[in-house]
Amino acid sequence: MSNMKLHRYAGYADFPGPVVTVVMDGMGLGPENESNGIYMAYTPQLDELSREPLYTRLKAHGTAVGMPSDDDMGNSEVGHNALGAGRIFSQGAKLVNEAIRSGAIFGGKAWKEILKRTSQGGTLHLLGMVSDGNVHSHIDHLYALLDRAATENIRRVRVHGLLDGRDVGEKSGLSYFEPLEQRLADLSRNGRDYRIASGGGRMVTTMDRYQADWSVVERGWRAHVLGEGRAFASATEAIRTYYAENPDITDQYMESFVVAENGKPVGTIADGDAVVLFNFRGDRAIEISRAFDEKDFIEFDRRRVPDVFYAGMMQYDGDAAIPKNYLVEPPAIDRTLGEYLCASGISSFAISETQKFGHVTYFWNGNNSGYIDEKLEKYVEIPSDRIAFDLRPWMKAAEITDQVIEAIRSGRYKFIRLNYANGDMVGHTGIPSAIRIAVATVDMCLGRLLKTVKQAQGVAVITADHGNADCMWTEKKGVRSPMVAHTTNPVPFIIKDFSGKNGFSLADVQNPGLTNIAATICNLLGFAAPADYDPSLITLRKK
């Protein structure tokens, strides 16, 4: 990495304290009305910071973070990629769209192996979240796989569909599963047999992340692989039944189900089959991928491990090779901020709780696991509570703050980054009282941090990776519906300089977004940014 050493920023004066970057996850800038959980919360720190001279708004969605269009909301993964990469890379859905459009998705080794398995009598199983939220998956990608399977005359396909209710309407499942069942029925001709085999809500079935709760994955394994669970004649029957039995249930927390005929599951996964996880986002895809891929798997008793060919839509962890096979090449994010800082001898500290730990490490470092330079870096994970986030909306913000204060006072780290997960994780519950508490918690912790940064004569950078808590509900014809998805609102960017050493002012950057932050951090640390990074948001005032 010696050739990545950064050059001194002309006119910069060193200061004793660290640069502390705070990512307030899911805390965007929405309209000033009662639907905005941030506006409605008690936030004296953020209110004061909004009047800082080094304050601006950044785009954190759509094309600014590599998504296909500006209709696409941002998310924590692409947001942290952008924060750490300093440039825009094609992301998630855009990558998959390009691969489908070019046909590359069907030209690789994985699809050829799928054709081989199915030509020998195996079933193709398509597992993933069925919605158009475009954060973890998109139903159009599932349809593209189904249409290609029919074109290739794959005889038997089973879909294992997970309900969203988080990146889309909280009770919108039928609007996706009804047309999916019709599409499968239309494709089931000329000897083809295409059906939904199992499903469940994303937060209780299959889609756990960061090893927070392996029982979620185990429930998915039992439904998808073993065919165990409450049986229904169809997926839509299951959804309607669960709605009728519990009017308060939302899609993301719906129990798992199995589609059965004459008392027998229609789509268990067996030896010789092929399985594709069609989600493109990595965090909630890694654990189920491990369950299929690992021979010495110990996280739960799989009971039966079929000999299948398993592939992800993408490789969800490049360093750990999870999964071993995949349909679409991941974005090759190189020359990350972390690599440049390590090459330049900057010591750093990264921390969050389990729910966002991978974001300040793996995603920040360009989808790479582990340390870049363990001698210079320290990563700390605070275990998240295993409880619904609205029941404990303060989450682990206080514990994170305690450790960051200790890291600042130690004087060992020049660059510190942290993520407060509250605004996003509690925002996803759609419960206003809990959201307001979550936001107030972040504000209170921010106040504690700023006092310590001031004592250390450092610099604080406060921003967010996307919106969520800034819209708690939407209203139509006088009826309010909880808003549990991310927003497309801009996010704040604030620099609070306690060092008194440098006269920074905002630079004239057109359409600034999250990718501009990496160059800004370089400047705050005393370095000129790499030439190919998106421009810094600040400049040194001429003395």
> Is residue 6 included in any domain, yes or no?
no
pLDDT for 135 beyond 70: yes
Could you tell me how far CA 247 lies from the centroid of its own chain?
29
> Is residue 234 included in any domain, yes or no?
yes
Note the pLDDT tens digit of each residue in 5-26.
999 999 999 999 999 999 999 9
pLDDT for 525 beyond 70: yes
Could you tell me how far CA 272 lies from the centroid of its own chain?
32
Residue 448, Cβ neighbours under 10 Å: how many?
16
Burial of 143 per CB tally in 10 Å (0-12, 13-18, 19+): middle
My answer on whether 174 and 133 are in the same domain is: yes
| AA letter at 120 | Q
pLDDT at 2: 57
* DSSP per residue, 191-211: T-EEEEEEEEETTTTT---TT
- 374 contacts 350 by C-beta, under 8 angstroms: no
What is the sign, positive or negative, of the torsion defined by CA atoms of 357, 358, 359, 361? positive
Task: Give the pair of three-digit tokens for residue 49.
Answer: 């910071």
My answer on whether 34 and 100 are in the same domain is: no
Note the pLDDT tens digit of each residue in 79-133.
999 999 999 998 888 899 999 999 999 999 999 999 999 999 999 999 999 999 9
Domain boundary among 307, 328, 349: 328
CA distance linking residue 519 with residue 194, whole number of Å? 50
Residue 165, Cβ neighbours under 10 Å: how many?
28
Average pLDDT of the segment spanning 328-333? 82
My answer on whether 290 and 439 are in the same domain is: no
Model pTM above 0.85: no
Average pLDDT of the segment spanning 425-439? 96
Using pLDDT thresholds of 50, 70 and 90, give the confidence band for residue 211. confident
| AA letter at 142 | L
Best CA proximity match to 208, nearest among 226, 196, 220: 220
pLDDT at 318: 65
Residue indicated by tokens 């370095």: 527
Q: What is the DSSP letter of 480?
A: E
| AA letter at 483 | M
pLDDT at 114: 98
Enumerate residues 6+ apart whose C-beta is below 8 A from 283: 77, 209, 210, 316, 358
Q: Coil, strand, or helix at residue 388?
A: coil
CATH number, domain containing residue 514: 3.40.720.10
pLDDT at 210: 75
My answer on whether 245 and 346 are in the same domain is: no
Domain boundary among 296, 328, 360: 328
Of residues 321 and 522, the one with the higher pLDDT is: 522
My answer on whether 187 and 314 are in the same domain is: yes
My answer on whether 27 and 136 are in the same domain is: no
Q: In the chain, pLDDT over 70 holds for what percent of residues?
A: 99
pLDDT for 369 beyond 80: yes
Best CA proximity match to 513, nearest among 497, 493, 494: 493
> Is residue 301 included in any domain, yes or no?
yes
Q: Which domain holds residue 52?
A: 20-90+332-540
> Is residue 4 included in any domain, yes or no?
no
My answer on whether 115 and 255 are in the same domain is: yes
Q: What is the DSSP letter of 222?
A: I
* Given 2, 50, 76, 175, the catalytic residue: 76
pLDDT at 539: 97
Question: Rounded to the nearest 5°, which phi and psi values hold at 160?
Answer: -110, 100
pLDDT for 206 beyond 80: yes
- 530 contacts 103 by C-beta, under 8 angstroms: no
My answer on whether 366 and 291 are in the same domain is: no
pLDDT for 66 beyond 60: yes
Ramachandran category for residue 515: left, alpha or beta (phi over 0 → left; psi -120 to 50 → alpha): alpha
Number of domains in the chain: 2
CA distance linking residue 350 with residue 381, whole number of Å? 9
My answer on whether 191 and 322 are in the same domain is: yes
| AA letter at 429 | T
pLDDT for 542 beyond 80: no
CA distance linking residue 435 with residue 374, whole number of Å? 37
Could you tell me how far CA 429 lies from the centroid of its own chain?
16
> Is residue 12 included in any domain, yes or no?
no
Best CA proximity match to 177, nearest among 258, 227, 236: 236
My answer on whether 295 and 343 are in the same domain is: no
My answer on whether 107 and 147 are in the same domain is: yes
Average pLDDT of the segment spanning 285-290? 96
CA distance linking residue 30 with residue 468, whole number of Å? 9
My answer on whether 408 and 321 are in the same domain is: no
pLDDT for 320 beyond 90: no
Best CA proximity match to 26, nearest among 363, 491, 523: 491
Give the chain's mean pLDDT: 95
Task: Give the pair of three-digit tokens for residue 305.
Answer: 């491990």
Note the pLDDT tens digit of each residue in 142-191.
999 999 999 999 999 999 999 999 999 999 999 999 999 999 999 999 99
Three-class SS string for 422-443? HHHHCHHHCCHHHHHHHHHHHH
* DSSP per residue, 353-373: EHHHHHIIIIITTTS--S-S-
Domain boundary among 328, 358, 378: 328
Note the pLDDT tens digit of each residue in 450-460.
999 999 999 99
CATH number, domain containing residue 226: 3.40.1450.10
Average pLDDT of the segment spanning 31-56? 97
CA distance linking residue 376 with residue 9, whole number of Å? 21
Note the pLDDT tens digit of each residue in 459-504.
999 999 999 999 999 988 888 989 888 999 999 999 999 999 999 9
- 376 contacts 346 by C-beta, under 8 angstroms: yes
Whether residue 69 lies in the annotated active site:
no
Report the greatest alpha carbon distance in the chain.
83
